[in-house]
């Protein structure tokens, strides 16, 4: 292989690969084809610094562009001191860092959920959990408590009015993100914790330090989930009998709860058709059944 041009070792790997491709008059698709790829998309991502190629692929890249393979590897690992696995599959940066900071800061199984949330910049589970924590622990204090987030209060008041005509309306997570550290500090002081059991997709929200003042919400089975929400709001239970009100504690109970979106709702919001949603929910039920047998 011919050595790279002078000064390569002081530049970024992405820059070296892009400039050398231009020198040789190759397109992204040309390089992709030489690397055995279907198109040049991955090549472009590497050249923009968005992805990191495996060592094997980088050696093939060196062959195609006639660059020194050892120096390319040196560039890669100087920029990526962690393993290639971490570089390729590390946690995504959160789209809403303050919302995520609040959720993880009040989570009772933080390590597990940090891994779960890290799968994407913003996950449906993350949004679903936030909506439940908001309804069960935060909404009342944000509407009526003493804090300086006036704009958020106005947004939530409008949200409450919209629920009169659309019970399935949900609060926009961007509202809370806009408040930044002020929201994180205030909200964290008024939530006593939550946890999420991934095998059963069950959320537990603690509303106060009073023993038993928590609610276990199954996120997949809508009838059970809605029954818990009726109980949480002190509304009627099955057959019109009064539901159990929350045990007394330092945090007041929320107003009558809206219908928080189910996992099915959030999957649909991601653009999936009913057939795909049914397939995903069936797979969840299968895994739950298999885990129960073991």
**Which one of 36-40, 75-79, 119-123, 129-133 scores highest in mean pLDDT?**
129-133
Q: According to the model, what pLDDT value does residue 90 have?
A: 53
Q: Is the pLDDT of residue 42 over 60?
A: yes
Mean pLDDT of the chain: 77
Mapped onto helix, strand or coil, the DSSP state of residue 20 is helix
Q: How many CB atoms lie within 10 A of CB 176?
A: 24
Residues with Cβ within 8 Å of residue 293, at least 6 apart in sequence: none
Average pLDDT over residues 207-221: 75
Q: How many CA atoms lie within 13 A of 30 on its CB side?
A: 9
Q: Which CATH superfamily is domain 8-89 in?
A: lambda repressor-like DNA-binding domains (1.10.260.40)
The DSSP letter of residue 212 is T
Q: Is the pLDDT of residue 16 over 80?
A: yes
Q: According to the model, what pLDDT value does residue 45 have?
A: 86
Mapped onto helix, strand or coil, the DSSP state of residue 95 is coil
Q: How far apart are CA 151 and CA 143, in angstroms?
A: 11
Q: According to the model, what pLDDT value does residue 163 have?
A: 87
Average pLDDT over residues 83-105: 73
Q: Is the pLDDT of residue 242 over 50?
A: no
Average pLDDT over residues 246-275: 54
- Mind giving me the DSSP string for 217-243? EESS-HHHHHHHHHHHTT-B-GGGPBP
Token couple for 190? 């008024």
Considering the entire predicted model, what is its pTM?
Answer: 0.50
Confidence of residue 86 (pLDDT cuts 50, 70, 90): very low
Q: How far apart are CA 155 and CA 259, in angstroms?
A: 18
Q: Quick one: which of 118, 64, 115 has its CA closest to 95?
A: 118
Q: Is the pLDDT of residue 6 over 70?
A: no
Average pLDDT over residues 180-198: 91
Longest dimension (CA), the chain: 82
Would you kindly state where each structural domain of the chain is located, as residue ranges?
8-89, 97-293
Task: Please give the distance of CA 17 from its chain centroid, rounded to a whole number.
Answer: 33
Lowest mean pLDDT among 75-84, 160-169, 236-245, 271-280: 236-245
Q: According to the model, what pLDDT value does residue 123 have?
A: 83
Look at 99 and 208; give whichever has higher pLDDT. Answer: 99
**Strands of the sheet with 214-218, listed across from one edge:** 194-197, 202-206, 214-218
Look at 234 and 165; give whichever has higher pLDDT. Answer: 165
Q: Is the pLDDT of residue 250 over 70?
A: no
Lowest mean pLDDT among 25-39, 136-150, 270-284: 270-284
Q: How far apart are CA 177 and CA 172, in angstroms?
A: 9
């Amino acid at each position: 292989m011919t050595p790279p041009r002078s000064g390569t070792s002081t530049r970024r790997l992405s820059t070296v690969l892009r400039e050398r491709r231009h020198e040789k008059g190759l397109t992204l698709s040309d390089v992709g084809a030489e690397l055995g790829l279907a198109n040049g998309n991955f090549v472009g991502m590497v050249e923009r610094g968005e992805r990191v190629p495996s060592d094997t692929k980088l050696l093939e890249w060196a062959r195609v562009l006639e660059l020194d393979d050892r120096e390319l590897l040196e560039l890669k690992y100087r920029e990526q001191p962690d393993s290639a696995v971490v570089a390729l599959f590390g946690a995504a940066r959160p789209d809403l860092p303050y919302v995520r900071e609040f959720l993880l800061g009040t989570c009772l199984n933080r390590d597990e959920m940090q891994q779960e949330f890290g799968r994407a910049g913003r996950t449906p589970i993350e949004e679903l959990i936030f909506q439940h924590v908001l309804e069960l622990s935060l909404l009342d204090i944000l509407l009526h408590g003493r804090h300086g987030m006036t704009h958020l209060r106005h947004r939530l008041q409008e949200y409450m009015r919209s629920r009169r005509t659309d019970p399935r309306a949900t609060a926009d997570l961007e509202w809370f993100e806009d408040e930044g550290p002020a929201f994180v500090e205030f909200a964290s002081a008024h939530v006593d914790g939550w946890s999420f059991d991934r095998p059963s997709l069950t959320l537990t929200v603690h509303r106060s330090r009073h023993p038993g003042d928590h609610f276990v919400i199954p996120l997949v089975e809508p009838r059970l989930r809605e029954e818990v929400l009726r109980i949480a709001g002190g509304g009627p239970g099955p057959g019109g009998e009064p539901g159990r009100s929350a045990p007394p504690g330092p945090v007041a109970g929320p107003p009558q709860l809206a219908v928080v979106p189910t996992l099915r709702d959030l999957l649909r919001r991601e653009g999936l058709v009913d057939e795909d949603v049914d397939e995903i929910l069936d797979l969840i039920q299968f895994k739950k059944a298999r885990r129960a047998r073991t």
